[in-house]
Amino acid sequence: MRRRAAAGLLALLLGGGGLLLTQPRPAAPTTDSAEAQFVRHMIVHHEQALGLSAPMLRRSGDRSLRSVALDITLGQEEQLRQMRAWLAGWGFSPGRAPPQRRRAAWAWPRWTTLRRCLPSRCPRPKSRSCG
């Protein structure tokens, strides 16, 4: 009984594997494809997240914020490595997203603005200086 089940499972796995081998592989993205543009923009986004989390790790006295900043740092660094590897695998340089779109989409405040806007320093709901 066990041999019959094992043989059936093996046949199923081999059949599924053979079916996968007959499927056409998707074409590699082009340098201007949505995939490549998405990855380049996400690289910029992740680099900015790392830039924002680094001062929190160094300067914040709030353990919860430091914990979130550490989580962002560790996760985004790994994702950055993965996305850069995709670009390299596709034969593309890890060039940046177009500067005009990068700046318009991600106009981050300076650390002094962020420090002013920490919950402990902004007791009232979303003041203009924290906006």
Q: pLDDT tens for residues 73-100? A: 999 999 999 999 999 999 988 765 555 4
What lies within 8 Å, CB to CB, of 45 at 6+ separation is 106
Domains in the chain (CATH in brackets) are 30-104 (1.20.1260.10)
**Cut 0.75: pTM above it:** no
Q: Can you tell me the distance from the alpha carbon of 17 to that of 73, in angstroms, rounded to the nearest whole number?
A: 38
